[in-house]
Structure 1
Amino acid sequence: MAVHGSKTVIYAALAGNALIAVTKFVAAWFTGSSAMVSEGVHSLVDTGNQVLLLYGIKQAAKPATPDHPFGFGLKLYFWAFVVAILIFGLGAGISIYHGIDKIREPHLVQDAWVNYLVLAFGLVFEGGVWLVAFRAFRGEKGAGSWIEAIRASKDPTVFTVLFEDSAALLGLLTAMIGIFASQAFDMPVLDGVASVIIGAILAVTAAFLAFECKSLLAGESVAPATRASIREVVKGVSGIDRVNELLTMHFGPKDVLVALSLDFNDRMPAAEVEHTVTVIERAVKTAHPEVTRVFIEAQSFKDHCWGQYANNSASSQ
């Protein structure tokens, strides 16, 4: 997904969460609902998260320097990981704390109609933001399942907002049910139970996001289909006897490094090898615009195998 598309999703979420957070806190102060406090904290954390994601996008766009020759694209993954930690530490932690406090000292929710009004407004607005994120993610989903698309996505900004807002919608529904049940059964403790459930929803969401971002930070390769495509592009270039090794790594959603070890035809003169390297680089970048760097090593298959054996022997000692 393009950066512009990512920013559109984030700006929509930022505006929605900021407005809803203020409204929820006012309603919580007016009614004394623990679930509404949890929802207010949830929206406030989400607002801060969108600011961090925008900051991550800005940092990732900085040009490469001698100290960071591959650029700063990985900073986007770092800030997305921080967002996941904040969802867990602040969103889930505070929600569960308030819920337990309400369960220990239950008290009736006052003027519950205010909560229902705010929650209904939140459902509409959060639903709109979710729809924007859903459409953006669907645009890059491809033919696979939704879970496969999430696991394969290299743009954490979109799936982070999508999961945040999915959790927000579940939280709003949980808060509404908790407040209604606490009144219907005259059991104010259920308001606290709803707050704990909201915290659990946030904790699960944060754990999943942290896992996905950790994998991106560790250096993920491109999808298997993309690797196969790159290999076919290279094999189709005249003068290549064998593709010894193909390594790829994402430095950002649209920033991929490709490293190739190639066995060139022994009869090729040096000038032709140099020209072939240029042809390969252009062909790979044309077929896959997300590839920004291509490094090629000329090496016989026999020497490559020896190098692999030597590396494996050294790492096992």
Structure 2
Amino acid sequence: MRALPAELKESNLVIFAALAANLGIAVAKFVAAAITGSSSMLTEGVHSLVDSGNQVLLLYGKHRSDRPPDAAHPFGYARELYFWSFVVAILIFAVGAGVSVYEGWQHIREPEPLRSPLANYLVLAIAFALEGTSWFLALRAFNAVRGDQGWWQAIRISKDPAGFIVLFEDSAALAGLVIAGAGVWASHAFEDPRIDGVASIAIGAILGVVAVLLARESKGLLIGERADPGVIARVRALVDAEPRITAVNHVRTIHTGPTSIFVAISADFDDAMTMGEGEALIERMEAHLKAQEPMLSSIYIRPERREDAVVTALGG
């Protein structure tokens, strides 16, 4: 029997850690922005506040997705997490990136007098430490399931968006802190407060790119993605190993949630089998498949002659 992916066991811890870090950082950034008048620091405060809201939405989505199946939703509510993940991506783009670019443009048009940057530097240092801790936890959880796969490949095949969303958010936050610090320093070094506004726009651009990437991945999960090819291959092999199955026509899967898969199997049964024998064989195969692949929440096995399955497939 195969265990469920390790990323699903740690994703809640990662989200709570990110939420705690972002709430504390947001307060500190807003206080520093009020003291120093820094546009990039205000932008970073909004960024942390948006990230905090996003983590709350992810926790809410995970809670809603745990509801059991009912008459209206016979396959359960697990895919609701994918909906809230898509909402998070939209919020990052609309609120995080939008406010950052707007605030930066306003600061360029109407620059404020420079003030002491000491408060900004202190807050940025504290924020970097807290954000770095959250990023490390997210990275550790992601690497636990990434194995020897490339980063982008692991993200593309992941069916739990909570893990990689937090990793993306924290990575963007760290990059934003570096840009904000550089903007504050350059503004004072060159005595030009407009540079701080340019830094805000750069932070908004990073958030926009992250939002587009997250929306793309969340959209694929929301529409419906197949199971890992390895799972499909093992299901095919298990069915094909049955002596009275003459051919496996196709194995079609779709993730109904991070830990649940619906599988439809078309197989050619031995023509000499009676209906009762076929029913018993199907029940035995379903039990065996669920024992070997715990994520198979729903299994549909259809007896179908090989030649008929080919015609059906060609006909769409």
Report the TM-score range of the alignment, normalised by the length of the smaller protein: over 0.9
Bigger drift between 109-118 and 79-88 goes to 109-118
- 1:203 maps to 208
Secondary structure, aligned partner of 2:254: strand
Which of 107, 110, 115 aligns to 2:115? It is: 110
Deviations 1:242-279 (A, max 9, x none): 11111100011101111101111111222222222122
- Residue 309 (structure 1) shift: 3.8
User: Aligned pair 1:177/2:210, yes or no?
Assistant: no
Instruction: Give me the CA root mean square deviation.
Output: 1.2
The aligned residue for residue 276 of structure 1 is 281
Q: Which amino acid aligns with 1:281?
A: E
Aligned position for 1:26: 31
C-alpha distance in 2 between matches for 1:308 and 1:130: 46
What do residues 171-201 of structure 1 show as CA deviations (whole Å, max 9, x unaligned)? 0000001100111111211100000000000
1:40 has 2:45 as partner: yes
Equivalent position SS for 2:252: strand
Q: What TM-score, normalized by structure 1, do the two folds share?
A: 0.95
1:143 to 148, 164, 169: 148
Aligned to 1:58: 63
Is 1:261 equivalent to 2:266 in the alignment?
A: yes
Give distance in 2, aligned partners of 1:108 and 1:283.
Answer: 72
* Alignment deviations for residues 42-87 of structure 1 (CA, whole Å, 9 cap, x no partner): 0000000000000100110111111111111110000000000000
1:127 aligns with 2:139: no
Aligned partner of residue 140 in structure 1, secondary structure: helix
Partner SS for 1:129: helix
Pairs aligned (count): 311
Structure 1 contact 34–191 (Cα < 8 Å) conserved: yes
| SS of aligned partner of 2:97 | helix
Q: CA deviation at 1:155?
A: 0.3
Report the Cα distance in structure 1 between the residues aligned to 2:213 and 2:261, rounded to whole angstroms. 24
Q: TM-score, normalised by structure 2?
A: 0.96
CA distance in 2, matches of 1:33, 1:309: 63
* Residue of structure 2 in register with 1:315 after alignment: none
CA distance in 2, matches of 1:119, 1:156: 28
2:304 pairs with 1:295: no
Identity of aligned residues (%): 49
Q: Unpaired segments of 5 or more residues in structure 1? A: 313-317
Alignment match, 2:105 = 100
Deviation at 1:237, TM superposition (A): 1.7
* Offset, 1:4: 4.1
User: 1:9–1:129: 8 Å Cα contact kept in structure 2?
Assistant: yes
The separation in 1 between residues aligned to 2:287 and 2:116, in whole angstroms, is: 67
